Amino acid sequence: MLAPIGEPDALDIRLEKRLSPRRNTMIDAVIAYDGGRTPCVIRNLSESGAKLEFTTGIAKIPKTFDLLVPKVRPQPCVVVWRSLKELGVQFQNSVIR
């Protein structure tokens, strides 16, 4: 059932928790952590964080790691959410542009 005109849809009520808007991307990257390197794709990106997509499960990826993108200095990250093959990360220092 649709909401009456002038009232927000149920989907519009969700609160945005991001500190800055994200833009969709397809950037090949690698995460580096104790004991490993794992390739990923940066699916969206903002000044404060990103969504990373993996081709394999991510159960062994630790809470903190460095995000490596060609021609950009390593970006320390902390995981803020995870699903089966995706991670949401917050950047700890400077920003990937």
Q: What is the pLDDT of residues 11-47, one digit of tens each?
A: 444 445 656 678 999 999 999 999 799 999 999 999 9
Nearest to 52 by CA among 87, 1, 92, 93: 87
Tokens 């950037």, located at residue: 27
The fold of 17-91 is Thrombin, subunit H (2.40.10)
Tens digits of residue pLDDT in 60-96:
899 999 999 999 999 999 999 999 999 999 999 755 5
Q: How many CB atoms lie within 10 A of CB 25?
A: 14
Which pTM does this prediction carry? 0.75
